[in-house]
């Protein structure tokens, strides 16, 4: 090879070197994708979960979760399907899931390390978990909760943002009558609560709640003239009612059932000459009853209370307390809530009040329910007025309620 030929060969090789180097990443990627390990991992990740029904039908898709004996399975053709264990013959998962035994109490993050997780097989009403140090098979009736590993980590080690994790309901109702008299009545309310963690199988760390309810009504009698001699003019008469209540509370749990709390409440009741009642206080609470279907809380606070009436000479600045009970019952066909409160004043024993609320919500369609409610309010120190104000005020409402559910 002459010197000129060698120079031209070297130049051609260098000119094509960038193109050859550019092919290297693609060659490496092809080798990686074609490797048996990668193909096996991809096949494993892509493998769907399998649900065999008691009638022999088989669904392929993804196990979502199991809560209290209800298994939710997602299948592309059918969407989310929720079934009881008695409708399931077999279940096989390809992904890892955590299983919470109903006989095991999860107290916090440390004890969460004992929660087993792995692939699941269910057959003959028995659940087997495939993992290192796998526990013995358990009856499906003892599997209180099943969730994927990501959900488990989120509930244990993360908290929802301030605007997420809320559950509650909004209610609205109205009545309009137009005749010799015109009558308008509007009522509504919203109640929201957020418990952290949001999972019911974990003990709560804190709870935040707020409520607002209101009712406004007006009856108008138009002016008219009586055909007498001389004619008698009767002026228009307007009668109105307005009741509003708002409150907020923050609970910090010191144990699974004992908590410290801070609260505030505001009330307006035109029928009892109450312009505004303000309460600011703090105290302790105890969850006396807690099951999957019902919960009852007892609370006691020390507070500052200010009562402002339409007759300013009756205004009060009080130091007192609120002793209250709240109860919730979730039944298949109805949700019942009740609240009782007695509010004594230490510096004026005559200035005490009490109230009771009851609500029944009947599920109608998806998140929509038909609701009935009562509000019974008693203020012992209503001021003298004309016409006289009653100490007691009772309100009955009905309307539609929309359930607001967290997706956290």
Q: pLDDT digit of tens for each residue in the chain (408 aa)?
A: 444 444 444 444 444 544 443 434 434 433 444 444 443 444 445 589 999 999 999 999 999 999 888 999 999 988 999 999 999 999 999 988 988 887 776 655 555 666 788 899 999 999 998 887 767 888 998 888 898 888 888 887 788 888 889 999 999 998 888 888 888 899 999 999 999 988 877 888 999 999 999 999 998 988 888 888 888 888 988 888 899 999 999 999 999 899 999 999 999 998 888 999 999 999 999 999 998 789 999 999 999 999 999 877 789 999 999 999 999 999 888 999 999 999 999 999 999 999 999 999 999 888 899 999 999 999 999 888 777 788 898 888 889 999 998 887
DSSP track, 42-64: HHHHHPPEEEEETTS-EEEEEEE
Query: Which pLDDT value is given to residue 19?
Result: 45
Residues 144 and 195 in one domain: no
Residues 198 and 282 in one domain: yes
Residues 134 and 194 in one domain: no
Domain boundary among 157, 179, 196: 157
Residues 279 and 348 in one domain: yes
Which CATH number does the domain housing residue 247 bear?
2.40.160.40
User: How many domains does the structure of the chain reveal?
Assistant: 3
Q: Looking at the domain assignment, is residue 90 inside a domain?
A: yes
Residue range of the domain that includes 391: 167-404
Q: How far apart are CA 386 and CA 20, in angstroms?
A: 100
Query: Which pLDDT value is given to residue 271?
Result: 82
Query: Which pLDDT value is given to residue 123?
Result: 92
Residues 139 and 261 in one domain: no
Q: Looking at the domain assignment, is residue 380 inside a domain?
A: yes
Query: Which pLDDT value is given to residue 61?
Result: 94
Output the CA torsion sign for 131, 133, 135, 137. positive
Residues 183 and 287 in one domain: yes
Domain boundary among 124, 157, 190: 157
Q: Looking at the domain assignment, is residue 400 inside a domain?
A: yes
Q: Looking at the domain assignment, is residue 162 inside a domain?
A: no
Q: Looking at the domain assignment, is residue 355 inside a domain?
A: yes
Query: Which pLDDT value is given to residue 6?
Result: 44
Query: Which pLDDT value is given to residue 106?
Result: 65
Q: How far apart are CA 367 and CA 88, in angstroms?
A: 27
Query: Which pLDDT value is given to residue 332?
Result: 82
Query: Which pLDDT value is given to residue 343?
Result: 96
Residues 176 and 318 in one domain: yes
Q: How far apart are CA 286 and CA 267, in angstroms?
A: 25
Query: Which pLDDT value is given to residue 122?
Result: 93
Q: What b/e readout covers 270-296, taking b as 16+ CB neighbours within 10 angstroms? A: bbbbbeebebebebebebeeeeeeeeb
Query: Which pLDDT value is given to residue 237?
Result: 86
Residues 152 and 275 in one domain: no
Query: Which pLDDT value is given to residue 4?
Result: 41
Residues 332 and 286 in one domain: yes
Q: Looking at the domain assignment, is residue 83 inside a domain?
A: yes
Residues 153 and 175 in one domain: no
For residues 88 and 52, the answer to whether their CB atoms sit within 8 Å is yes
Residues 128 and 239 in one domain: no
Residues 191 and 128 in one domain: no
Q: Looking at the domain assignment, is residue 97 inside a domain?
A: yes
Domain boundary among 95, 126, 157: 157
Q: How far apart are CA 406 and CA 168, in angstroms?
A: 9
Q: Looking at the domain assignment, is residue 130 inside a domain?
A: yes
């Amino acid at each position: 090879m002459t010197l000129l030929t060698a120079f031209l060969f070297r130049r051609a090789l260098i000119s094509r070197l960038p193109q050859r180097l550019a092919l290297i990443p693609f060659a490496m990627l092809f080798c990686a994708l074609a490797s048996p390990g990668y193909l096996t991992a991809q096949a494993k990740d892509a493998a769907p979960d399998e649900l065999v029904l008691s009638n022999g039908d088989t669904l392929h898709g993804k196990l979502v979760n199991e809560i209290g004996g209800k298994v939710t399975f997602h299948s592309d053709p059918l969407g989310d399907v929720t079934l009881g264990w008695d409708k399931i013959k077999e279940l096989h998962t390809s992904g890892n899931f955590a299983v919470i035994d109903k006989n095991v109490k999860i107290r916090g993050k440390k004890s969460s390390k004992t929660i087993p997780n792995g692939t699941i097989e269910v057959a003959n009403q028995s659940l087997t978990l495939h993992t290192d140090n796998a526990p013995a098979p358990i009856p499906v009736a003892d599997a209180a909760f099943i969730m994927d590993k990501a959900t488990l980590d989120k509930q244990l080690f993360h908290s929802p943002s301030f605007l997420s994790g809320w559950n509650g309901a909004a209610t609205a109702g109205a009545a309009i009558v137009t005749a010799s008299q015109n009558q308008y009545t509007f009522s509504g309310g919203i109640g929201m609560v957020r418990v952290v963690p949001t999972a019911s199988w974990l003990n709560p760390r804190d709870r935040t709640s707020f409520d607002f309810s209101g009712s406004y009504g007006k009856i108008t009698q138009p002016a008219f003239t009586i055909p007498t001699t001389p004619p008698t003019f009767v002026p228009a008469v307007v009668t109105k009612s307005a009741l509003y209540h708002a409150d907020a509370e923050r609970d910090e749990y010191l144990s699974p059932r004992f908590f410290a709390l801070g609260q505030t409440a505001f009330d307006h009741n035109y029928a009892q000459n109450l312009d505004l009642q303000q309460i600011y206080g703090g105290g302790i609470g105890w969850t006396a009853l807690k099951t999957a279907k019902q919960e009852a809380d007892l609370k006691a606070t020390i507070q500052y209370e200010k009562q402002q009436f339409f007759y300013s000479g009756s205004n009060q600045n009080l130091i007192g307390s609120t002793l209250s009970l709240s109860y919730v019952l979730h039944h298949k066909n109805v949700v019942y809530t009740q609240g009782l409160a007695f509010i004594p004043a230490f510096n004026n024993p005559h200035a005490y009040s009490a109230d009771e609320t009851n609500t029944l919500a009947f599920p109608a369609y998806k998140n929509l329910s038909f609701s009935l409610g009562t509000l019974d309010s008693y203020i012992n120190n209503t001021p003298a007025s004309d016409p006289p104000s009653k100490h007691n005020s009772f309100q009955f409402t009905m309307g539609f309620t929309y359930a607001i559910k967290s997706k956290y």
